[in-house]
Amino acid sequence: MSDVVGYEVRGRIAVVTIDNPPVNALGHAVRVGLIEQIDRAVADDAAGAIVLIGAGRTFPAGADIREFDQPPRDPHLLTILDSFDAVEKPIVAALHGTALGGGLELTLGCHFRVAAPGARVGTPEVKLGIFPGAAGTQRLPRVAGLDHALELIVMGEPIGAAKALDYGIVDEIIEGDLLDGAIAFAEKVLEDGTPRPISSEPKEGIGTPEQFAEVIQKYRDLAARRMRGQESPLEAIESVLDGLRMPYEQAVAADRERFPRCKDSDQSKALRYAFFAEREAAKIPGVGKEIQPRPVETGAVIGAGTMGGGIIMCFADSGIPVTAIETSQEALDRGRIDEAEMARRVALISTSLDYSDVGGADLIIEAAFEDLELKKEIFAQLDGVAKPGAILATNTSYMDINQIAAATGRPEDVIGLHFFVPANVMKMLEVVRTDTSSPEAVATGMRVARAFGKVGGLAGVSHGFVANRSRAPLVREAIFLVEEGATPAQIDQVLRDFGLPMGVLAVSDLSGIDVSWRMRQSLAHLRDPEERYVHLADRLCEMGRFGRKTGSGWYTYGDGGSLPVPDPEVDEIAAAVAAEQGIERRQIDDAEILHRCLYAAVNEGAKIVEEGVALRASDIDIMWQYGFGFPRWRGGIMYHADRVGLPEVLARVEEFHAAHGKLWQPSALLCDLAASGGSFTG
Ligand code: 3H9
């Protein structure tokens, strides 16, 4: 008998329990066990109805994603839930935790569904480059209606129990003990003789594509906008459409052809890689489960500018009371916290001009101006007022946090928490471990990331840490390419075609070209004269072309416009700078643009891993996805380099090294891996 699917009879109800930690994934053993135990219940005269439930923290959260790389093994999940249609005894699925993907499909095979109030249901398959492959695309529209089904299937976002009830996916919400409630529900079904709804019916379908043209178009548009370049949402829509074009059996048969094609696609492989890479990023050697993060029940933020304002909202959004400290009332008033937002969260936010007001905070995040001396001063002050055990964090995006930590008498409590712009929106949080940060401080940083609904990734101290340091060479090459003859529009188009949400130069305009200009000025004493320099970017700034906020930068913006318009003047400025620098301008093809931009970042990424600043190449990929909106279906820059082949990437890097000098010095790790047939991401 199965050791992952249990069986017992309570009264006249058979209880079948899936017990396959951590998330009860529907791997082969579970599928075999399910058939065994449902057959047993069917044959058991003592059982009048069946309750199907998950042990531990959740109803099955889906198929076992790890099996996708192996040859398929019978029984297919679809066979199981199709077989439920013929079971005469009512089957009640009892949902808690996250009933996702194949887990939700399994419940659609059951005749009734009840849920705990905190349960979430959904079909996140598109996020893995596939679609609900066990008839979910056929059964969900029959149960929830086409609009709601498309919402779940195409967008992939789970919904809560109350909405699921509203959509007709769940029949009842059970307050109190779920199993007891599900048994009572099953008893009532037996008592009332409630007919068993069968979700594969009506077999002929629920309407025609023409009837639903509008709603189908809505989701096509949404998919194109929110998941640009990603194939799975469109495949999912096609699969749903099959259910409108043909009867159930035929549509399911079509799915069985479509599914392996999606699963074996490059996009699906990249998305599965990203799924596991994200979970891997949470694992930090030396910061195991035995290390207790410190509780963070109150927070403080020093500096209520753009970044600080966003961070204050992160606290308030997660229900953590926060004190905002500014140097003057004027600065507080100028604070960028939107007033309406502020009103909603006001109960959680207090403001002050006095550092001693942060004395009670468990976590203090400094988000002041990027000036090392200022930051050291702030940390020295914080050291004087913060309670023992408080975590002192800086949001600097490139400064030496070792020095900042040394300004305190408790360097072990200091970490970096590097947010991305806008801080309350972007999902990435880079947690920077200094030479002295304690494991508890690092664990707290990672825990805070989760509390803020973000993904934490570890970085060591290095100029720009992991994310910005690996991205800087991409921006640098884009600037050089303009000097050499490409236009900003051409470069940005190539990057957008590759899948980036915006071109890098348009992004620079949006965030302000002057930001990095000021940083370069403050670090001018460190400049290596042998390295090529971004003269053109400096020139634009000297001309007051700071980007969107000044109406022009790499592009021009017309009268307060937000749309970048190509500006011939930039070409002229670039030509003048090129002449001064002795750069011969030429036609540059798109392939060179892509290779220069991406491989510059890959080469730097390799150095970052080589130096131990990132724990693993996959962490860089996660930071690009959640910090910069890099298309997840590309996996990430390091994953992409592996797919291209490291010998090929190295050959290009060496070619650019020969042509453009020192900045292209190939990373030793890249050379080693290319020579040994290795890869960054396994
Ligand atoms: C599908 O169902 C296809 C069908 O339509 C068609 C079939 C024919 N498989 O995330 P966590 C592991 S596709 C294997 O840290 P949380 C995860 O790697 C699937 N492993 O926990 C981690 O392992 P480790 C559709 C899985 O509480 C551990 O479980 N379903 C799976 O933050 C804990 O995970 C999905 O896409 C899996 N399906 O979040 C749901 N799921 O400890 C995917 C998790 O070794 N899963 N693991 O690192 C999730 O979204 C989250 O894991 C969940 C829990 C919300 C469930």
- For 566-605, give the DSSP string: --HHHHHHHHHHHHHHTPPP----HHHHHHHHHHHHHHHH
- 2 pLDDT band, cuts 50/70/90, is confident
618 CB burial (10 A radius; 0-12, 13-18, 19+): buried
Are residues 307 and 423 in contact, defined by beta-carbon separation less than 8 angstroms?
A: yes
* Residue closest by Cα to atom 49 of ligand 1: 61
Question: What pLDDT is recorded for position 663?
Answer: 96
Q: Does residue 105 surpass a pLDDT of 80? A: yes
* Residue closest by Cα to atom 16 of ligand 1: 23
The DSSP 8-state label assigned to residue 262 in this structure reads H
Question: What pLDDT is recorded for position 673?
Answer: 98
What does each C-alpha distance from 637 to 115, 474, 527, 549, 594 come to in angstroms?
A: 41, 11, 27, 30, 12
* Residue closest by Cα to atom 11 of ligand 1: 279
Across residues 351-364, what is the average pLDDT?
89
- 345 pLDDT band, cuts 50/70/90, is low
Taking the CA of residue 136 as reference, the ligand 1 atom at the shortest distance is 5
Question: What pLDDT is recorded for position 344?
Answer: 62
For residue 96, report the distance from its CA to the centre of ligand 1, in Å. 15
Question: What pLDDT is recorded for position 392?
Answer: 98
* Residue closest by Cα to atom 54 of ligand 1: 23
CA atoms of 618 and 140, how far apart (whole Å) = 35
Q: Specify the DSSP element, H or E, that contains 433.
A: strand 428-433
- Tokens 């001018």, residue? 524
* Order of strands across the sheet that contains 172-173: 5-10, 13-18, 49-54, 91-95, 112-115, 172-173
Q: Does residue 384 surpass a pLDDT of 90? A: yes
Any residues with Cβ below 6 Å from ligand 1, and which? Answer: 22-23, 25, 61-66, 77, 98, 100-102, 105, 124-125, 128, 132-134, 136, 276, 279
SS (H, E, C) 83-140: HHCCCCCCEEEEECCEEECHHHHHHHHCCEEEECCCCEEECHHHHHCCCCCCCHHHHH
Q: Does residue 9 surpass a pLDDT of 70? A: yes
* Residue closest by Cα to atom 33 of ligand 1: 22
| Cα atoms in the Cβ-side hemisphere of radius 13 Å centred on 268 | 21
**Mean pLDDT over all residues of the chain?**
95
Query: Which pair of structure tokens corresponds to residue 143?
Result: 């149960």
Are residues 367 and 308 in contact, defined by beta-carbon separation less than 8 angstroms?
A: yes
Question: What pLDDT is recorded for position 340?
Answer: 55
- 286 pLDDT band, cuts 50/70/90, is very high
Query: Which pair of structure tokens corresponds to residue 201?
Result: 């019916």
* Residue closest by Cα to atom 27 of ligand 1: 23
- 528 pLDDT band, cuts 50/70/90, is very high
Taking the CA of residue 58 as reference, the ligand 1 atom at the shortest distance is 56
For residue 521, report the distance from its CA to the centre of ligand 1, in Å. 47
Are residues 471 and 602 in contact, defined by beta-carbon separation less than 8 angstroms?
A: no
For residue 681, report the distance from its CA to the centre of ligand 1, in Å. 20
- 523 pLDDT band, cuts 50/70/90, is confident
CA atoms of 678 and 673, how far apart (whole Å) = 4
Beta strand 414-419 pairing with 428-433: antiparallel
For residue 637, report the distance from its CA to the centre of ligand 1, in Å. 24
Query: Which pair of structure tokens corresponds to residue 272?
Result: 């599965």
The string of pLDDT tens digits covering residues 598-614 is 999 999 999 999 999 99
For residue 275, report the distance from its CA to the centre of ligand 1, in Å. 8
Beta strand 13-18 pairing with 5-10: antiparallel
Question: What pLDDT is recorded for position 676?
Answer: 98
- For 470-484, give the DSSP string: HHHHHHHHHHHHHHH
CA atoms of 490 and 607, how far apart (whole Å) = 29
The dihedral through the CA atoms of 344, 347, 349, 354 has a sign that is positive
Query: Which pair of structure tokens corresponds to residue 258?
Result: 């479509």
Does residue 361 come out as left (phi exceeding 0), alpha (psi in the -120 to 50 range) or beta?
Answer: beta
Percent of the chain's residues with pLDDT above 70: 98
Q: Which residues pair with 413 in a beta bridge?
A: none
Taking the CA of residue 76 as reference, the ligand 1 atom at the shortest distance is 8
- Tokens 């991205």, residue? 471
The string of pLDDT tens digits covering residues 536-569 is 999 999 999 999 999 999 999 987 778 999 999 9
**3-state secondary structure at position 415:** strand
Q: Which residues pair with 98 in a beta bridge?
A: 120
Are residues 412 and 260 in contact, defined by beta-carbon separation less than 8 angstroms?
A: no
Taking the CA of residue 78 as reference, the ligand 1 atom at the shortest distance is 8
CA atoms of 291 and 601, how far apart (whole Å) = 34
Across residues 503-526, what is the average pLDDT?
92
For residue 65, report the distance from its CA to the centre of ligand 1, in Å. 7
Length of the chain: 682
Q: Which amino acid is at 398?
A: Y
Taking the CA of residue 280 as reference, the ligand 1 atom at the shortest distance is 48
CA atoms of 4 and 173, how far apart (whole Å) = 26
SS (H, E, C) 620-669: HHHHHHHHHCCCHHHCCHHHHHHHHCHHHHHHHHHHHHHHHCHHHCCCHH
CA atoms of 424 and 314, how far apart (whole Å) = 5
- For 192-255, give the DSSP string: HT-----TT-STT-S--TTTTHHHHHHHHHHHHHHSTT-SHHHHHHHHHHHHHHS-HHHHHHHH
Are residues 266 and 643 in contact, defined by beta-carbon separation less than 8 angstroms?
A: yes
Mutate to test the pocket of ligand 1, among 65, 125, 258 (most ligand atoms within 8 A of CB): 65
Nearest to 596 by CA among 482, 672, 469: 482
Are residues 312 and 337 in contact, defined by beta-carbon separation less than 8 angstroms?
A: yes
* Residue closest by Cα to atom 32 of ligand 1: 279
For residue 152, report the distance from its CA to the centre of ligand 1, in Å. 17
Taking the CA of residue 276 as reference, the ligand 1 atom at the shortest distance is 18
Q: Which amino acid is at 270?
A: A
Taking the CA of residue 66 as reference, the ligand 1 atom at the shortest distance is 14
**3-state secondary structure at position 152:** helix
* Residue closest by Cα to atom 30 of ligand 1: 62
- Tokens 């988000």, residue? 367
Taking the CA of residue 275 as reference, the ligand 1 atom at the shortest distance is 18
Question: What pLDDT is recorded for position 341?
Answer: 60
Q: Which amino acid is at 100?
A: L
Question: What pLDDT is recorded for position 268?
Answer: 98
CA atoms of 522 and 421, how far apart (whole Å) = 22
Does residue 463 come out as left (phi exceeding 0), alpha (psi in the -120 to 50 range) or beta?
Answer: beta
- 250 pLDDT band, cuts 50/70/90, is very high
Q: Which residues are catalytic?
A: 105, 125
Percent of the chain's residues with pLDDT above 90: 90
- 672 pLDDT band, cuts 50/70/90, is very high
For residue 636, report the distance from its CA to the centre of ligand 1, in Å. 20
Instruction: Determine which of 254-258, 339-343, 393-397, 471-475 has the lowest per-residue pLDDT on average.
Output: 339-343
Mutate to test the pocket of ligand 1, among 23, 76, 232, 269 (most ligand atoms within 8 A of CB): 23
The dihedral through the CA atoms of 624, 625, 631, 635 has a sign that is positive
Query: Which pair of structure tokens corresponds to residue 582?
Result: 């002795």
- 336 pLDDT band, cuts 50/70/90, is low
Across residues 446-470, what is the average pLDDT?
97
Q: Does residue 275 surpass a pLDDT of 80? A: yes
What does each C-alpha distance from 97 to 140, 181, 657 come to in angstroms?
A: 20, 16, 52
* Residue closest by Cα to atom 5 of ligand 1: 132
Q: Which amino acid is at 428?
A: M
Query: Which pair of structure tokens corresponds to residue 236?
Result: 């999912």
The DSSP 8-state label assigned to residue 387 in this structure reads P
| Position with higher pLDDT, 515 vs 333 | 515
* Residue closest by Cα to atom 46 of ligand 1: 61
For residue 50, report the distance from its CA to the centre of ligand 1, in Å. 26
CA atoms of 624 and 270, how far apart (whole Å) = 14
What does each C-alpha distance from 309 to 153, 333, 355, 381, 430 come to in angstroms?
A: 35, 12, 17, 21, 18
For residue 61, report the distance from its CA to the centre of ligand 1, in Å. 6
* Order of strands across the sheet that contains 363-366: 349-352, 322-325, 299-302, 363-366, 391-394, 414-419, 428-433, 455-460
Taking the CA of residue 62 as reference, the ligand 1 atom at the shortest distance is 2
Q: Specify the DSSP element, H or E, that contains 3.
A: none
**3-state secondary structure at position 538:** helix
- 346 pLDDT band, cuts 50/70/90, is low
* Residue closest by Cα to atom 47 of ligand 1: 23
- 357 pLDDT band, cuts 50/70/90, is confident
For residue 278, report the distance from its CA to the centre of ligand 1, in Å. 11
